[in-house]
Each structure stands twice: as structure tokens, then as C-alpha cells.
Amino acid sequence: MKVIDGVKLSIDGRMIHVEGPQGKLSFEHHPDVNVAYDAASKLVTVTRRNDERLSRSLHGLTRALIQNMIVGTKQGYEKRLEVQGVGYVVAIQGKIISLRVGYANEIKLTIPAGLKVTCPDQTHIVVQGCDKQLVGQFAAMLRSARKPEPYKGKGVRYQGEHVKIKPGKAAQ
């Protein structure tokens, strides 16, 4: 795979370090795969030692993780969530995001280091960062605070996510 301009990649033993305008990421690959980087042509090659099932799966995984690191440090990743429901609001105070989503207490979550979380208004959340896994995991944690329920559609959902609304008991 090709390394994008503006991204520096270095390999130190089994550690792969990627640095770009959005941040720095590191990853230690499995010993069953070999990673080589040609700085002149800016190409990263991932090879496997044998054709066993584990080696084949680790080969694809390593290639995808390196690609995600390259894209993340150059462009970054973003997940958008929206909160729907009467009285459901979101607020950020420092490094803590608090969600009032219909429970007796507000849910307070600490924002992990390396992520930028913003609230353009009280019902939208934007999670940004260079680590694709961390962005997706934190967005999933926010969504799991109150998953969209199927009768009224209230809850935290990804922007553009369609929730299938069931007919209520009166429809029977």
C-alpha cells in the first residue's frame, strides 16, 4: 500500500510508528507477518511466513490496521451521533460528557485522550480522532448509554441511522 504525502512511517523491529498532521499512532504486529517499508517509493508491504489459516487472517488484519493508521493520521476519522427524545440533552464540561437521556441520574463519561468530542448543539455529538478503533468504540459507548427504542425511536443513534418503528399494542 502507498503512504500518503505528509505522513511519516517508521518500523522499529515489530513496532510500526505512523506520524501525520492529525497525530501519532503506534502498533506492534504479530510475529507471523513481516512488514517492510521502502522509503524511496513510499510503499509498505505486508507478507506472511506461511499459508496457514491464522497467518492469512493476520496478514489481512495487519494490512488493514496499517492502512487505517495512515489514513487516520492524515485525514482523521469522525462519527456523528444524534439524541432524540423530549428532554434528552448532551453537554460537555472539560473532559467529561454528560448525557441526560431519561434516567434518574445523568450519565457522565470521561473523554479518552486522543479524541476531540464536540456538541454543536444539545442534541448532536461529534467524535473525532486519528485512531479509527478509539473513535468507533467511544461512539458505541455513547450510543449504548440509551440505544434507540423501537416504539418511539427515542435514544442516542448514529446520524443517518434508520430505526425501524414497531406498531404499538393499539395496532393489533
Closest by CA to 20, choosing from 4, 32, 8, 34, is 8
Cβ neighbours, 10 Å, residue 117: 23
How confident is the chain (172 residues) per 10-residue block, as mean pLDDT?
A: 92 94 94 92 93 94 95 95 93 94 93 94 95 96 94 93 88 66
H helix runs in the chain, sequence order? 53-74, 132-144
Cα–Cα separations (whole angstroms), residue 102 to 63, 112, 118, 138, 139: 43, 24, 21, 20, 19
Closest by CA to 81, choosing from 128, 109, 123, 129, is 123
pLDDT of residue 169: 84
Cell numbers found for residue 41: 517509493
Domains and CATH numbers, the chain: 8-74 (3.90.930.12), 77-158 (3.90.930.12)
pTM of structure: 0.90
